[in-house]
């Protein structure tokens, strides 16, 4: 007896995976551009990858084409675009300031880049194992696109303001280690994934979006860096606030 249940069109899966592939392409191009010394082009490519990464998941949810394959493919794309590409970008920019490849400083440079990339891989693996059970409102550890955006915008802002790589070599290496540690930490970050249940958003949020877009048009590197730094600091502040609130609840319960 034939079933009356409509079959989901397999062709619909092409759309979100096409955006994921485009994000992967942007991340791969960022590596090529960094290798060729075109650091600004690499920064733009990582930014494009971040935009595409934010679109593919929403398209999958809107078209009801979410799948286990899509989750895994998205993570592999993220590893290239937000793990390998930013690490290689940062190292490529400061490599000339670190000395010859056989020096200790140069080795510390690529080890810091590898640490960042390895932490991104661990973060993505943990995210996949917790899919479906984790709190949708928060990330455990800093998300890889956010870490990549912070690292990329730091390099882009420094170049835009004429700060030489010799001055930023040490801070960039420390930043890679710090961002890597935040990705694998237990610090909570807002995920911004929860959509409004009514389908509408307050007018104040619309105005905030308009203001941010306007500022981005005026000074893109500076605004991206400001957003990255603010989001990076928000995690520790949110975690401390949550622990303080939990301690207050326990104290009230003991009274």
- Cα distances (Å, whole numbers) of residue 230 to 93, 200, 236: 24, 26, 11
Give pLDDT tens digits for 206-231. 888 898 889 999 999 999 999 999 99
Largest CA distance in the chain: 74
Which token pair is 21? Answer: 């592939």
Query: How far is Cα 36 from Cα 7, in angstroms, rounded to an integer?
Result: 48
2 pLDDT more than 60: no
Is the domain covering 12-254 a CATH 1.20.120.1760 domain?
yes
The residue extents of the domains of the chain are 12-254
Query: How far is Cα 88 from Cα 42, in angstroms, rounded to an integer?
Result: 10
Give pLDDT tens digits for 18-74. 999 999 999 999 999 999 999 999 999 999 999 999 888 778 777 777 778 888 899
Give pLDDT tens digits for 145-198. 999 999 999 999 999 999 999 999 999 999 999 999 999 999 999 887 655 545
**pTM recorded for the entire structure:** 0.87
Give pLDDT tens digits for 129-160. 876 666 677 888 999 999 999 999 999 999 99
Beta bridge partners of 139: 189
Residue 249 has a pLDDT of: 75
Contact between 131 and 71 (Cβ < 8 Å): yes
Angle between helices 68-78 and 39-62 (to 10 degrees): 170
Contact between 71 and 124 (Cβ < 8 Å): no
Beta strands per DSSP E along the chain: 138-140, 188-190
Which token pair is 3? Answer: 């079933």
């Amino acid at each position: 007896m034939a079933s009356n249940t409509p079959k989901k069109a397999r062709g619909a899966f092409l759309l979100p995976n096409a955006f994921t592939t485009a994000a992967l392409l942007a991340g791969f191009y960022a590596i090529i551009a960094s290798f060729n010394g075109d650091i600004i082009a690499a920064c733009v490519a990582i930014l494009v990858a971040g935009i595409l990464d934010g679109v593919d998941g929403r398209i999958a949810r809107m078209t009801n084409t979410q799948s286990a394959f899509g989750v895994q493919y998205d993570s592999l794309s993220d590893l290239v675009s937000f793990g390998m590409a930013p690490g290689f970008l940062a190292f490529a920019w400061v490599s000339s300031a670190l000395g010859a490849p056989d020096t200790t400083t140069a080795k510390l440079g690529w080890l810091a880049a590898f640490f960042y990339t390895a932490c991104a891989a661990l973060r993505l693996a943990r995210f996949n194992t917790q899919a479906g059970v984790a709190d949708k409102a928060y990330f455990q550890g800093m998300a890889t696109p956010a870490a990549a955006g912070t690292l990329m915008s730091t390099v882009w802002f420094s170049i835009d303001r004429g700060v030489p790589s010799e001055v930023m070599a040490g801070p960039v290496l420390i930043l890679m280690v710090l961002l890597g540690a935040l990705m694998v930490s237990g610090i909570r970050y807002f995920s911004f994934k929860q959509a409004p249940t009514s389908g509408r958003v307050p007018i104040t949020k619309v105005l905030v979006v308009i203001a941010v877009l306007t500022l981005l048009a005026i000074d893109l590197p500076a605004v991206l860096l400001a957003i990255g730094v603010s989001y990076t600091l928000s995690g520790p502040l949110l975690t401390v606030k949550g622990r303080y609130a939990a301690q207050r609840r326990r104290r009230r319960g003991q009274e």
